[in-house]
Amino acid sequence: MLFNSLEFMVFLPVVLTIWFFSKGVLLRQFILVISSFIFYSWGNPWHLFLLLLSGTIDYQIGKRLHLKKSLSLLLTSIFLNIGILAFFKFGHALTDSMSSDFLLLGIPIGVSFYTFQSMSYSLDIYRGKLKPADNLIHFFSFLAFFPQLVAGPICRGEELLGQMKNLSAKQVNYEEAFRFLAIGFFQKMFLADYLGKSVDNAYNSSFFIESGITWWLIHFCFGYQIYMDFFGYTNIARGLAGLLGITLPENFKFPYFANSLTNFWRSWHITLSSWFRDYVYYPLGGDKKGISLSYLFIFITFLLSGIWHGSTFNFVIWGVFCGLMIIGERILLKLYRKKEFLFFGHFLVIFTITISWVFFRSPDLHFSFKVLERMLSLNGLSRFHLNRADQFMLFFLLLSVSFDFFHFKINQKKGTIKELILLNCIIPITVFFRLGEKMFVYFRF
């Protein structure tokens, strides 16, 4: 079920009404769990079976880890979740040697997110940082919470389990919740969807675009499409959770205003970046084992991040490229004074991230390198002109950048007249100019 669907517009008021008039924390937890199961199974009921199976196993493992610290139990949880991910991410490669009937059911939406969330639950209990959930209902209210189930933010047990034990309508901040919802739906249903329409038209064109400048414009647009789409989803999720008295963690901190690649990735998909930092980079040794090894650990972390996003070589190369760019930036920061380097940092961020999006969006490596050859040679510069499609892309790109800048400014001072003006502008635009029910980009992961 999509947040921007008519079904969800019926589903949400029903859930909120039942939840609001319910008494007792356990009953409210139960309502959230049942609602989340209905939400998740709406498009493909069999996906719910996998969530129930993996979640129940991790819940039982968590209980036993709390009683006795067992490495074998922890590894069972890790291999279970990684095995589920690997099967659905890479199973298509085995279809020549096995029946593909099971795979034809599709990759379960959100599997990359809830497996990481469930894995962190077991890891934190093993480390002694978390007490297990009180019961299975309490656990699934954490794991299957519908606002963030299919595309994050990826929550830790310490962030949600405690809140699920204190569910109360008195904790609802309606003003903040509706602010998140208004901004999120505008980011997704207006900015991201219109940018996505232009990008898809370019990629699905019957002829290959020869102009390198046009490809730069396309990937500037794709960068902001995926940003507005995912940032929009996160804001909608935080708004929906807020209506239920739950606070979800921040997932974006205006990354396109970062002055270094390090700061960009600290501000982009924060809950995934911090997950890899805490459960991969730090356990490998972080920066405590010397500079050379820290570079290796960064490379491994970004490589795994690329694989998490997809099974094709494009995502592997994307992860490798981003990791190498971070390592290169760290080396440059040691050679030059930080102030001098960061003066050009923002331009480096825009250039590098835009190059990386080519691998992220292209259907295969051959197409990626073909596009990059045009972009880096600025092919067709002398013959470049803005046709109507280019003008459309440029308009929505500038509109997205302007909105992001204004949003960044008012986010520092909430409740001002500027914010009120912004909300009064974007709500009618979203309602009257939306493109309909478009899938969120990160649902494919």
Q: Which residues are catalytic?
A: 309
Asked, as a colleague might, if the bond just before 132 is cis with ω within 30 of 0, I would say no
DSSP per-residue letters across 148-200: TTTT-----HHHHHHHHTS--GGG--HHHHHHHHHHHHHIIIIIIHHHHHHHH
Task: List for the chain the helix, strand, coil content (%; round to 5).
Answer: 75, 0, 25
The alpha carbon of residue 301 and the mean position of all alpha carbons in its chain are separated, in whole angstroms, by 17
The alpha carbon of residue 35 and the mean position of all alpha carbons in its chain are separated, in whole angstroms, by 22
383: burial class by Cβ within 10 Å (0-12, 13-18, 19+)? exposed
Those residues whose C-beta lies under 8 Å from the C-beta of residue 192, and which sit 6 or more positions away, are 224, 225, 226, 228, 229, 232, 441
Structure tokens at 217: 């414009």
The alpha carbon of residue 246 and the mean position of all alpha carbons in its chain are separated, in whole angstroms, by 19
The H or E element spanning position 296 is helix 291-309
Instruction: Tell me the angle at which helices 212-243 and 174-186 cross, rounded to the nearest 10 degrees.
Output: 160
Residue 339 has a CB neighbour count (10 Å cut-off) of 7
CA distance 190 to 426: 9
CA distance 380 to 21: 64
Structure tokens at 383: 């013959």
Residue 163 has a CB neighbour count (10 Å cut-off) of 20
- DSSP secondary structure code for residue 129 in this structure: S
Rg, C-alpha atoms of the chain: 22
Those residues whose C-beta lies under 8 Å from the C-beta of residue 45, and which sit 6 or more positions away, are none
C-alpha torsion sign, points 161, 166, 169, 171: negative
CA angle 146, 113, 264 (to 5 degrees): 110
CA distance 110 to 107: 9
